[in-house]
């Protein structure tokens, strides 16, 4: 599939048009925002099959995965925004001290303006359109840049957006690094970027030239800590699910496991069953098992596997022509191994043996703050101890990845895993400026007169 890229010479006019629409208040009325949210809902609802087909072509994503983690999720967020927009957008009246009792103080919710949303390839519907839900709800106009690597999905979204959404307010721009860099030369009022940290730094540097605020939804190595009291069969199933959903190409996928040798051995015995139960004895033939996005990423993963000093105890087979990598577990991985240097982003699960929970915590804290952390234990005190002594963007106790499906939970990283958060109300807030408004009635002039010079000591009591 060859995706048609936009000509960079179109960008100045395109951005100007969106700015003009914003200045003319096109996107501000709540009725307009609701209509566009309904249209986005309809786009997803009426074209499920076409979108699922594109996701299958790009990532071999099964229909159920596409519905759960892409189409259904964004549709739910459209409804969440539609149901709550009146409340989110209404002014918030704040309490004041006695001195300002008569001044009415409130927070006005202003859309930030014209924004740029840049998506990644791994969830090409979700990470592109979910921020757009918030941008529409907040009353912004938007340039939307899908990832060129999920070309089929980008092409379908481009076609459908022009049919369903108002072109005067929301415009899809297709391209790769060159087109994105060109877009970044222009001033936006917010940039919402999802992707790798390396490109995140480029985005932030470009945004700094215009003092544009950024949300960076990045990735990193999200660890799993297993205590010695875990339920092995359930833990094995949940870890294999998290590691193989979308073929491990999920920003919040469990990247690696830290556990004692005893737990490692028990898991190695149990995990083949978890894999077979989901994907049969040959996952390559399973309709539910995904593929690596392209040969570059396939080669990157193969290279990581070929250099590991750990033991490939489960899986290890691959097929470059089919972009297939078998679910693979590598045990006894040294702490400085090739598999421990970068986010794996594929169906390869390293196990690093540690002596204790404290040893695991120390290992995590010596590295970049992860996007997610998954502690497993039957003991609440152990979980609390782990959470109190580590940091991460989000966490799920005794499971993986579910935090991304709850609109009420802010989704985002901290430190090297990103900045800012979204989903549900948090996406609305991202694209909203909270403007302080205070009135000073003329009738209270006498009450406030003591602020004017010349001051007498008796005017103020500190």
From 78, 140, 251, 259, active-site residue: 251
Report the residue number, 139 or 407, with the smaller CB distance to ligand NAD.
Answer: 407
User: Minimal distance in Å, beta carbon 208 to ligand NAD?
Assistant: 14
- DSSP for 331-353, please give it: ES--TT-GGGSS---SSEEEEEE
What does DSSP assign to residue 145? E
Q: Which residues bind ligand NAD (CB under 6 A)?
A: 118-123, 127, 145, 147-149, 176-177, 180-181, 194-196, 199, 202, 217-219, 251, 343, 345, 371, 413, 418
User: Minimal distance in Å, beta carbon 315 to ligand NAD?
Assistant: 22
Contacts of 260 (CB under 8 A, 6+ apart): 226, 228, 353, 354, 355, 356
Select the residue whose beta carbon is closest to ligand NAD and give its number.
Answer: 219
Residue pair 124/150 in contact (Cβ under 8 Å)? The answer is yes
Report the residue number, 226 or 251, with the smaller CB distance to ligand NAD.
Answer: 251
Report the residue number, 235 or 427, with the smaller CB distance to ligand NAD.
Answer: 427
User: Minimal distance in Å, beta carbon 103 to ligand NAD?
Assistant: 41
Report the residue number, 123 or 164, with the smaller CB distance to ligand NAD.
Answer: 123
Cis upstream peptide for 454 (omega within 30°): yes
Q: Which pairing describes strands 328-331 and 141-145: parallel, antiparallel, or unpaired?
A: unpaired
Report the residue number, 407 or 413, with the smaller CB distance to ligand NAD.
Answer: 413
Active site residue 46: no
Active site residue 343: no
**How far is residue 226's CA from residue 341's CA, in Å, rounded to a whole number?**
21
How are strands ordered across the β-sheet holding 141-145?
A: 170-172, 141-145, 114-118, 190-194, 214-217, 418-419
User: Minimal distance in Å, beta carbon 462 to ligand NAD?
Assistant: 48
Phi, psi at residue 348, to the nearest 5°?
A: -120, 125
**How far is residue 438's CA from residue 456's CA, in Å, rounded to a whole number?**
27
* Tokens matching residue 211: 């003092």
* Tokens matching residue 402: 């579910």
User: Minimal distance in Å, beta carbon 302 to ligand NAD?
Assistant: 17
From 70, 77, 179, 217, active-site residue: 217
Per-position b or e across 325-356, b if 16+ CB within 10 A of its CB: bbbbbbbbbeeebbbbeebbbbbbbbbbbbee
User: Which residues carry out catalysis?
Assistant: 217, 251
């Amino acid at each position: 599939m060859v995706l048609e890229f936009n000509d960079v010479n179109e960008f100045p006019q395109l951005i100007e048009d969106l700015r003009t629409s914003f200045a003319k208040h096109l996107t501000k009325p709540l009725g307009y925002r609701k209509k566009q949210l309904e249209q986005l809902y309809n786009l997803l609802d009426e074209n499920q099959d076409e979108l699922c087909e594109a996701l299958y072509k790009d990532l071999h994503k099964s229909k159920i995965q596409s519905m759960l983690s892409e189409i259904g999720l964004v549709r739910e967020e459209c409804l969440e925004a539609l149901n709550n927009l009146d409340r989110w957008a209404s002014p918030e009246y704040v309490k004041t001290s006695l001195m300002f009792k008569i001044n009415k103080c409130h927070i006005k919710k202003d859309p930030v303006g014209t924004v740029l949303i840049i998506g990644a390839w791994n969830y090409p519907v979700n990470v592109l359109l979910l921020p757009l839900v918030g941008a529409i709800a907040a009353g912004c106009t938007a340039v939307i840049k899908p990832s060129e690597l999920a070309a089929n999905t980008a092409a379908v979204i481009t076609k459908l957006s022009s049919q369903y959404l108002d072109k005067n307010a929301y415009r899809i721009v297709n391209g790769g690094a060159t087109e994105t860099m060109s877009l970044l030369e222009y001033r936006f009022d917010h940039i919402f970027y999802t992707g790798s940290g390396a490109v995140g730094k480029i985005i932030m540097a470009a945004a700094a030239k215009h003092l544009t605020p950024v949300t960076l939804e990045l990735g990193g190595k999200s660890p799993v800590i297993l205590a010695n009291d875990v339920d092995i069969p359930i833990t094995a199933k949940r870890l294999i699910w998290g590691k193989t959903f979308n073929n491990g190409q999920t920003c919040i996928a469990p990247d690696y496991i830290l556990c004692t040798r005893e737990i490692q051995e028990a898991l190695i015995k149990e995990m083949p069953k978890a894999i077979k139960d989901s994907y049969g004895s040959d996952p390559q033939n399973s309709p539910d098992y995904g593929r690596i996005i392209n040969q570059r990423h396939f080669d990157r993963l193969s290279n990581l596997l070929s250099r590991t000093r750990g033991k490939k105890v489960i899986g290890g087979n691959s097929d470059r022509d089919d972009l297939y990598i078998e679910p693979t577990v590598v045990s006894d991985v040294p702490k400085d191994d090739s598999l421990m240097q970068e986010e794996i982003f594929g169906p390869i699960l390293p196990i690093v043996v540690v002596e204790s929970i404290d040893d695991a915590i120390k290992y995590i804290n010596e590295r970049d703050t992860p996007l997610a952390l998954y502690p497993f234990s039957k003991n609440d005190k152990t979980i609390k101890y782990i959470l109190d002594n580590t940091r991460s963007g989000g966490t799920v106790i005794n499971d993986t990845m579910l935090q991304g499906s709850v609109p009420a939970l802010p989704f985002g990283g901290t430190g090297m895993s990103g900045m800012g958060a979204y989903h549900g109300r948090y996406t609305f807030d991202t694209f909203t400026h909270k403007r302080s408004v205070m009135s000073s009635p003329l009738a209270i002039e006498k009450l406030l007169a003591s602020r004017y010079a010349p001051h007498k000591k008796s005017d103020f009591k500190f």
